[in-house]
């Protein structure tokens, strides 16, 4: 039989096992949150190369123009004496472009695309060039990693207790090491840029690096 614990006001008793179960449940929740912190920070930091900015206005406009372009091509193909295969291809492309436009979302300002002349206008060509430039941009992996670790520190503060303190301490050390490594890599690249004649000697001095280190430094450049 579970031991009974008398409440302070003396109005009743609560089995001590209930306190034990609640304590275990709280520790379990903290352990789960700790795992979430580590997974989010470490896992996401390792995938910086695949990160992309959210679609901007120019990219949304370009997706809309792409849909209108293939849609117009499908209409023209039906009206012209073209092969059945070409009619089917243009029709399929028009249908496929709907998913692309839905993914990007409609732009705030809809481009003029009511006719073929509108679609082929200089203004819309400029939109396509802007969209391409925006698509080539990538987040700075250093900033991404630092923001993730800052998020991890905030989440560790929510966790609290011994587990939260340990995770926070680990993240602070990792953040300091990341900052130091960033400064070293930046300084090395600046040195090679200002002293190109020493580049070969610099490479030879680092030939003993392990393959893992080389891949890490190359990715951080």
Phi and psi torsions of 2, nearest 5°: -70, 140
Tokens of 91: 């029709």
The answer to whether 161 touches 34, Cβ cutoff 8 Å, is: no
pLDDT digit string, tens, across residues 188-217: 778 878 888 777 777 777 777 777 666 666
Helices (H), 15-140: 16-38, 44-45, 57-79, 84-104, 116-119, 122-136
Rounded CA-CA distance 83/81 in Å is 7
In this prediction, residue 51 carries a pLDDT of 66
% residues pLDDT > 70 (the chain): 67
126's torsion region: left (phi>0), alpha (psi -120 to 50) or beta?
A: alpha
**Most confidently modeled of 104-113, 147-156, 166-175, 182-191?**
104-113
**Most confidently modeled of 1-15, 43-57, 88-102, 200-214?**
88-102
pLDDT digit string, tens, across residues 163-190: 677 777 777 777 777 777 777 777 877 8
The answer to whether 191 touches 203, Cβ cutoff 8 Å, is: no
């Amino acid at each position: 039989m579970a031991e009974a614990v008398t409440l302070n006001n003396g109005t009743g008793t609560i089995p001590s096992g209930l306190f034990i179960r609640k304590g275990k449940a709280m520790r379990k929740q903290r352990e789960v949150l700790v795992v979430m912190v580590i997974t989010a920070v470490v896992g996401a930091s390792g995938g910086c190369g695949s990160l992309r900015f959210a679609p901007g206005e120019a990219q949304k406009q370009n997706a809309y123009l792409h849909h209108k372009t293939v849609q117009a091509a499908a209409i023209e193909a039906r009206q012209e004496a073209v092969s059945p295969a070409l009619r089917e291809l243009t029709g399929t492309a028009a249908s496929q472009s709907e998913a692309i436009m839905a993914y990007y979302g409609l732009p705030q300002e809809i481009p003029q695309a009511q006719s073929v002349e509108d679609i082929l206008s200089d203004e819309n060509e400029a939109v396509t060039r802007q969209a391409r430039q925006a698509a080539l941009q990538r987040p700075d992996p250093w900033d991404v990693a630092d923001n993730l670790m800052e998020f991890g520190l905030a989440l560790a503060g929510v966790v609290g207790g011994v587990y939260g303190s340990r995770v926070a301490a680990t993240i602070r050390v990792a953040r300091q090491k990341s900052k130091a490594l960033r400064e070293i890599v930046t300084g090395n690249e600046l040195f090679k840029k200002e002293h190109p004649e020493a580049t070969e000697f610099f490479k030879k001095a680092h030939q003993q690096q392990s393959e893992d280190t080389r891949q890490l430094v190359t990715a951080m450049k």
